[in-house]
Amino acid sequence: SQQGEEDPQALSIQEGENATMNCSYKTSINNLQWYRQNSGRGLVHLILIRSNEREKHSGRLRVTLDTSKKSSSLLITASRAADTASYFCATDPTGAGSYQLTFGKGTKLSVIP
């Protein structure tokens, strides 16, 4: 089942601007992951944040996690046209024990050159 909800569903920005996407979830988690999907392709893992972490950086990516609000945000700084893709959050629920991930509905990001 899909428990994650990303917002916005679609985001269009100019190259060089920052893009912020949010994700909310419903159950307790071990970790939350962000994936990227280019049109018609598979998913690429971007970054993972554990439930005991609040912020994590990787290059131009910054992820925050607020377990009290059951929400996460992905910030892409200095966006590039090549960042155009759909971005999904995925949660690893506590106690699932089956290595399953639950994906959100995704945010479609368009970066205009």
Residue count at the site for other proteins (CB under 8 A)?
A: 26
In whole angstroms, the minimum distance from the beta carbon of 75 to other proteins comes to: 21
Q: Which CB sits closer to other proteins, 16 or 41?
A: 41
Q: Taking CB under 8 A as the rule, does residue 60 contact other proteins?
A: no
What is the DSSP code (8-state) at residue 50? E
Query: Beta partners for 56?
Result: 63
What b/e readout covers 62-86, taking b as 16+ CB neighbours within 10 angstroms?
bbbbeeeebbbbbbbeebeeebbbb
**CB neighbours (10 Å) of residue 35?**
21
Stretch that binds other proteins, among 12-20, 38-46, 59-67, 71-79 (CB under 8 A): 38-46
Q: Considering the rule CB under 8 A, would residue 48 count as an interface residue with other proteins?
A: yes
Interaction of residue 108 with other proteins, rule CB under 8 A: yes
Closest CA to 75 of 23, 3, 2: 23
Q: Which residues bind other proteins (CB under 8 A)?
A: 1-2, 30-31, 33, 35, 40-45, 48, 50, 88, 92, 98-106, 108
